[in-house]
Structure 1
Amino acid sequence: MVDVVAIQPLLALIVGILILIVPRVLNIAVAAYLIVVGLLGLFPGLLG
């Protein structure tokens, strides 16, 4: 199982590159990040 700590830097890098290419994706990226962090905070065992 992939650890969440290992996924976050990779996800941040991918989203950062997408924001540089398509700035409109910033709203979607922030919303998705907040949803994921919120779900993982409410349900800590969600990924494993």
Structure 2
Amino acid sequence: MNGWAAYRFAGDAEPGDTEGQGVGGVWFTFTPEGKKAQAVADTNGGWH
């Protein structure tokens, strides 16, 4: 995205691996414009 890889993690061995997603409760997301996505509180008090 914007010249950068959308996802990269040193522990992934094969194309398509996503072993770094969700580690320690951390997820990597971005907007359609390529900017960092922000967490939004939902109406039930959770986050998404």
Report if TM-score (shorter chain) is over 0.5. no
Q: TM-score range by the shorter chain?
A: under 0.3
Tell me which of the two structures has the higher relative contact order, counting C-alpha pairs closer than 8 angstroms and 6 or more residues apart: 1
Which TM-score applies when normalising by structure 1?
Answer: 0.28
1 or 2, which has the higher helix percentage?
A: 1
Q: Who wins on radius of gyration, i.e. which is larger? A: 2
